[in-house]
Structure 1
Amino acid sequence: RALSILGRSSAATREIVVLTDRQAEAWKTTDTAAWLRFDDLLKLPAVRPRIWVMDTSTGLSQLSHNIAVGQLELSRELTVPGFPLRLRTMVRNEADTETAVTIRLLLDGQPLAGRTQNLRIPPHSATSVEFEHALREAGSHVLSVEAESANDEIRADDSSHAAVRSMPSLPVLVLNGAPSVNPEQRASFFVQTAFAAVEVGEPWVAATVVDADSATAADLRNQAAVVCCNVSRLTPAFAAALEQFVRSGGGLLIACGDQLTPIEFDACFRNAGMLGSIQLSRIRQSAPNAADRVQVAPLSIQPGWLERFRSDPGRTFLKSDFLSWAVLSVVKEAVSRPAGGDTTAAIPQSPAVLATLTTGDPLLIEATHGEGRVLLLSSSLDRSGNDLPSRADFVPFLHEAVFRIATARSRRNVPVGEALIVAVPQGAPDPLAVDLQSESSQFDVLLSDGQTVQVPAESSGAELRGVIRQTNRPGVLRTTFRIAAQQGAAAADPAAHNSTDAFVVNYDHTEDLFQSLQGDDRARLATNERVRFTESLEELQQRMYGDETTTELWTLLMFGFLGLLVAELLLTRRVIL
């Protein structure tokens, strides 16, 4: 960027000053190709700029002992009470000796009983730490992993946080593509049964079952996700409403059955714009009495929410037999950024194959559409295409899938500098009952440094949203949605109109790597005077300006001109005399 700016300059001398510390990670000294490209860029300007690198950490002592907790990886940001949540992180030991470390899991700042691990981490290495916890109460919570060790020199990186939202139950619309008088013959039978499988309390998923050909846009109201069970026919009005639902942040799970032909797949989903880069070519069936059973290829399962189904070879998900499935393929398309420079808009991503069958055909594809997420299962969710519904892993797989697609709009954990979108959370007043034209609604945001800022709440569909741009410091942010009392309205309890929520801003944890630039690395960077290292501001000034004279050329010319005028005056006087 600096080279681009100086390339448009007409100055005779051009300087770039880089302020840095001892950390070697950001310099990427082993990326030879990147530095060769940088060398080519240096040759472009008519006047080659000089690049100075000043070490701002000069005078600071070297760190001899530090334990750092990496960024938390959650299985999902949205959950329900009682549904186990998994989180993982890396704990790094930046010391010359093996270190004993105590790791604790905290919920809203309080240590959880029985969630402690005692580790011994080798020098200059990292160890993976995993926890599993089921929240008991609905609401917005912050999970934290904290490390404790003796003689730790930096305490700021001893803990890492992640925000989670727990709701009483997840509202899901199930579209039945095979209506029947006999419930067991409906394509949605096993899905409905799996969602209702709860011994006590509320079900984790509140399912509403509707026949696909009679579904209307009103059925999508207040739903978090939609599950299509062998759906081959949708009305044009509902297909348009479904596309808008997904684009606005809703989730969609499509299970392909024997009724879904390529033409019907295009009519229901591709032509609406939701799956433009995915093609269904045909329905394939396994050979009768084949010696090789068609199952899930274990090594094809990608890390993430599916990892629990590949971690144990004995999982019944891997033993499921598939009799028929749709042959799907991903068509590569150009990915463009949102117009208008909107930093809060989602950038389209290419579909990803999360799992394949032993035949090599994709089994599960994940795609994004607008702010929403789509999962495409190439087989059915009933026993017409496989025996997965009769396996023990069917219920957890289905729950993990719907929670995966329902969390697309939930961005509670963002990197530093990324705008954070906050909406009226569960438990707040109905946004439709609020006067959206008034300026009485706002979000009070408590930043990680203790300051409070106000963000106006604006109408966005059926909810109120605010954009938090003060995310330049990592830490936990807490928001409170407030509705000011309307003029002439009856007095009410303020707490009834307030709702709190939690978010986390994460920093780049490569900053926890304190390995400094060594002599060989510095020499490689300084090859052909690519960069010049300095240790202090005085040295920088001396080397940058030390060989330049303080006398300007224009002063010499001025004195010379005055001398000529004096000489001319003297000669004129002599001629006259």
Structure 2
Amino acid sequence: MSLEFLNPVLLFGLAALALPIIAHLLSKKRFDVVQWGAMQFLDLGKRRRRRVRIEELLLLLLRMAIVGLLALAIARPTISRGFFANFVSTDNRDTVFVMDGSYSMGRSDGETTPHNQARAVMHKILNHARPGDTFALLDARDQTRFVGDGPLRDANQLRTWIDALPPPAGASNLAAAVADALQILGTTSHVRRDVVVMTDGQARSWHPTDAAQWQVIDELRGQPAVQPQLWVVNFQAADTPSNFILDRLDASRARAPVGFPVRVSTTLRYTSEVGPGECNLYFEVDGQRLGDATIKSPLLESGGEFRVEFEHRFSTAGSHVLSVVLDDDDVPGDNRADVAIAVTQPLRVILVDGTPHLDPTRSETFFAEAALRSDAEHSPFIDSRFVTSQNLNLSVIDRADVIVLANVATLSAEQAEMLRQFVEAGGGLLVAPGQLVQSENYRTLLSDLLPGDLTAFVEPEEAANVDVGQLQLPWQIGAADIDELATARFTGYWEMTPHEQANVPARLVSGDPLLVSSPVGRGRVMLLSTPLDADGSTLPTKSVYVALLHEMLFYLAAAEEFPLNVNVGEPLLQPLIDEAAEAEIRVNRPDGTTATPEIGGEPPLVRFDDTSAPGVYELEQPRRNRGGTRSSVATRFVVNFDRGERDLTPLSVTEIEELSADGRITFVDSPDDLEAQLLTDDSRTELWQMLVVLVFALLCLEIWMTRRLVQGGHAVLDAAASAHPHPPQGTT
């Protein structure tokens, strides 16, 4: 049996014990004595005087006891009950349940999963809930999700939330979830505070090597007067003899026009304890499986990989989702990969020719126009128009998604300002300077718009080539295209000085930048060091020129779009279509439930922040058509998770010992052991309620003794007056 105080600092209140003593001593201060005739009749006897002093002393001790007990009650003493610790605790407690929501908790043995087992154990623990107990529930994923409003005292409400937990998906960060749980317990008041973590023992979720995170946990444990107890129960998942895993799905572009081929690729991985295996990979478009696009993997050994690629052309504009799916196995959480694509009408490109000529072959934009021209079999991917620099005005700019300045010598201040506003609003700008360009004009009017400064146009004695080993292009490019790009010879180009925040995705072997880009407002700007025609290089004569130009234009145009592919925890954003229909906007989550997003900003945006669960989300916005009818615009998003969750390695004995050091965490062997230890271990009782009752009783006793002492004095005076009547008035 031991005595502890939850607020030991408040024991300094015991110094108030001196207050009754000081008051008593001050009441004994000597005063001047004035003798008068009747004083002799009030003189008390020695026996009665001794009795009064004893009563005064008892009253002093009583008042000191009241002050001392009140100070002890405020310090909240607790006492361990020794013998009673072997039985179920009857004290109120605060409990935070942390459920591991990673997809490894969905491993099945054909009958159940660790996730279902954990929910059953939480229900069993709640059977022992007492009135006054508080509970909270955290769903630990890539980001911790607080379930409901906690802590709460309604165990039945918590049961409802437990049953409504979404199925395991994505990864989890248990260390961060434990820190969140400790912060919750820092606001509670009961003497028993527990964090109960339900997991499958996977090491990766604990981040055991993240020293900073665990230092935060130790600090949070040490802050409250009642140190929370951390319990971890590992639900041993079913053995997984073999498992096929899909990596994140990559797309050749995030935005493509109708009819343009979009390639998606991913890596199939295989782990096994029983030998090699093979599986089917299915291709889906907006949830519909394409029967003619199924690939059978080769026979893979454990640890083997297989790169798979699909291609698709969309026939309608809008947002679409491409998916690669595997047959169900014991670990379903890694059998699917999705990517969202924004499909648009043909891209509107304005080619501004700096050297127009009657002979089209001698025009600055001749090769560019030829590269963007579509054949008769396919609809155009890019709707390009040619204008001269003199005709570059606001009406032209308003009809463009991307503007290309092809060896435009100078720009007026008005044109420079229009281009700046165009890019900041989400447009794309490609600048391809030639020898005619006056660098001082560009530096004066476009220095804050361009990603670099034009220094000098050079014509090296020996032609330069692209340093393909240093390529960092923001789009995919095939190996054959890279090989052909390496053969292009550059005989004339601008030396450029990139700005501090600019990106340099391509350089020449001389080290000079070939491409420089940077975001500006909601748009993008790209600066090419050589002209688009064949005056400065042999690039326009290569077939890779067509692909390269298309990719540059698509990349510049995609800047105006809000991303459709985000990571867990990142918001979903889209422009508001109809302000009058805000109340009808809905978000459909991956689990089939709906939610209402927020709307705000200028211009107004639709924003949805609750992306803790990975998968496909759909934003539905009403739209009023010209004829007065209404329709719905659906925008699809894909929320991706950390695919490193595929590493199912459990915590090692050394890692468990490190996490358990200094009593930080208690790992239990089974759910039954958790229940037994959680409900009986170190049961303690708070004494402050009893002390408050005792203080109230002593206050009543103090009032009675004070009244008795006062009334006793009056009785003495009355008795003395009866024995010695007052002499008549006027006598001496």
TM-score range, shorter chain: 0.7 to 0.9
**In the alignment, which of 519, 544, 551 is matched to residue 393 of structure 1?**
544
CA distance, structure 1, for counterparts of residue 649 and residue 528 of structure 2: 45
CA distance, structure 2, for counterparts of residue 507 and residue 356 of structure 1: 34
**In the alignment, which of 522, 537, 542 is matched to residue 371 of structure 1?**
522
CA distance, structure 2, for counterparts of residue 58 and residue 88 of structure 1: 35
Q: Can you give the 5+ residue segments of structure 2 that lack an aligned partner in the other structure?
A: 1-175, 717-732
Residues 80-137 of structure 1 deviation map (CA, whole Å, 9 limit, x = unaligned): 3443222122323343243212112222312252552423333256543333333355
Contact 1:14/1:48 (<8 A) preserved: no
Residues 140-195 of structure 1 deviation map (CA, whole Å, 9 limit, x = unaligned): 4321101237xx11334312222223334211122223344443333222212211
**In the alignment, which of 293, 297, 305 is matched to residue 118 of structure 1?**
297
Partner of 1:340: none
CA distance, structure 1, for counterparts of residue 599 and residue 412 of structure 2: 35
The answer to whether 1:256 aligns with 2:396 is no
CA distance, structure 2, for counterparts of residue 121 and residue 403 of structure 1: 37
Alpha carbons of 1:552 and 1:423: their partners in 2 closer, same or farther (altered >3 Å)? same
TM alignment of 1:125-164, pairs within 5 A:
126-148=305-327, 152-164=329-341
TM alignment of 1:329-348, pairs within 5 A:
329-332=497-500
Q: How many Å apart are 1:71 and its aligned residue?
A: 2.1
CA distance, structure 1, for counterparts of residue 660 and residue 438 of structure 2: 62
TM-score, length basis structure 1: 0.76
**One-letter amino acid of the structure 1 residue matched with residue 289 of structure 2:** Q
Q: Can you give the 5+ residue segments of structure 1 that lack an aligned partner in the other structure?
A: 333-349, 425-430
Q: How many Å apart are 1:74 and its aligned residue?
A: 0.9
Partner of 2:648: 514
**In the alignment, which of 565, 586, 597 is matched to residue 413 of structure 1?**
565
Deviates most, 134-143 or 516-525: 134-143
CA distance, structure 2, for counterparts of residue 53 and residue 130 of structure 1: 46
Name the SS for the 1:227 alignment partner.
strand
Alpha carbons of 1:519 and 1:196: their partners in 2 closer, same or farther (altered >3 Å)? same
Residues 349-372 of structure 1 deviation map (CA, whole Å, 9 limit, x = unaligned): x43221211111222233222222
The answer to whether 1:246 aligns with 2:423 is yes
Contact 1:232/1:268 (<8 A) preserved: no
The answer to whether 1:301 aligns with 2:471 is yes
**One-letter amino acid of the structure 2 residue matched with residue 421 of structure 1:** L
Residues 323-363 of structure 1 deviation map (CA, whole Å, 9 limit, x = unaligned): 2223334443xxxxxxxxxxxxxxxxx43221211111222
Partner of 1:100: 278
Contact 2:354/2:407 (<8 A) preserved: yes
Answer 1 or 2: which has greater helix percent: 2
CA distance, structure 2, for counterparts of residue 565 and residue 459 of structure 1: 64
Contact 2:569/2:612 (<8 A) preserved: yes
CA RMSD in angstroms, aligned pairs only: 4.4
CA distance, structure 1, for counterparts of residue 355 and residue 663 of structure 2: 72
CA distance, structure 2, for counterparts of residue 523 and residue 261 of structure 1: 69
CA distance, structure 2, for counterparts of residue 510 and residue 481 of structure 1: 35
TM alignment of 1:557-568, pairs within 5 A:
559=694
**One-letter amino acid of the structure 2 residue matched with residue 412 of structure 1:** L
Contact 1:54/1:537 (<8 A) preserved: no
Partner of 1:428: none
Partner of 2:455: 282
Name the SS for the 1:253 alignment partner.
strand
**One-letter amino acid of the structure 1 residue matched with residue 568 of structure 2:** V
CA distance, structure 2, for counterparts of residue 8 and residue 560 of structure 1: 29
Q: How many Å apart are 1:62 and its aligned residue?
A: 4.5
Deviates most, 528-537 or 321-330: 528-537
The answer to whether 1:550 aligns with 2:685 is yes
Q: How many Å apart are 1:249 and its aligned residue?
A: 2.3
Contact 2:277/2:300 (<8 A) preserved: yes
The answer to whether 1:167 aligns with 2:347 is no
Contact 2:221/2:228 (<8 A) preserved: no
CA distance, structure 1, for counterparts of residue 595 and residue 692 of structure 2: 59
**One-letter amino acid of the structure 2 residue matched with residue 120 of structure 1:** L
CA distance, structure 2, for counterparts of residue 7 and residue 448 of structure 1: 31
**In the alignment, which of 592, 614, 622 is matched to residue 450 of structure 1?**
592
Name the SS for the 1:383 alignment partner.
coil
**Larger C-alpha radius of gyration, 1 or 2?**
2
The answer to whether 1:221 aligns with 2:398 is yes
Alpha carbons of 1:43 and 1:137: their partners in 2 closer, same or farther (altered >3 Å)? closer
Q: How many Å apart are 1:538 and its aligned residue?
A: 7.4
Residues 289-334 of structure 1 deviation map (CA, whole Å, 9 limit, x = unaligned): x3xx4111121112652432xx2387322211112223334443xx
TM-score, length basis structure 2: 0.62
Name the SS for the 1:120 alignment partner.
coil
Residues 420-440 of structure 1 deviation map (CA, whole Å, 9 limit, x = unaligned): 23358xxxxxx8xxxx67458
Deviates most, 107-116 or 190-199: 107-116
**One-letter amino acid of the structure 2 residue matched with residue 371 of structure 1:** R
Contact 2:447/2:453 (<8 A) preserved: no
Contact 1:101/1:121 (<8 A) preserved: no
Name the SS for the 2:298 alignment partner.
strand
CA distance, structure 1, for counterparts of residue 332 and residue 687 of structure 2: 53
Residues 172-221 of structure 1 deviation map (CA, whole Å, 9 limit, x = unaligned): 12222334444333322221221114243432110122223431222222
CA distance, structure 2, for counterparts of residue 18 and residue 357 of structure 1: 58
Q: How many Å apart are 1:223 and its aligned residue?
A: 2.3
Partner of 2:412: 235
Alpha carbons of 1:304 and 1:242: their partners in 2 closer, same or farther (altered >3 Å)? closer
Alpha carbons of 1:26 and 1:283: their partners in 2 closer, same or farther (altered >3 Å)? farther
TM alignment of 1:527-538, pairs within 5 A:
527=661, 532-533=666-667
Q: How many Å apart are 1:16 and its aligned residue?
A: 8.6
Q: How many Å apart are 1:42 and its aligned residue?
A: 4.9
CA distance, structure 1, for counterparts of residue 591 and residue 185 of structure 2: 39
Residues 373-429 of structure 1 deviation map (CA, whole Å, 9 limit, x = unaligned): 2322222211222111111111111111111121223322222333223358xxxxx
CA distance, structure 1, for counterparts of residue 192 and residue 507 of structure 2: 55
CA distance, structure 1, for counterparts of residue 676 and residue 456 of structure 2: 73
**One-letter amino acid of the structure 1 residue matched with residue 393 of structure 2:** T
Name the SS for the 2:339 alignment partner.
strand
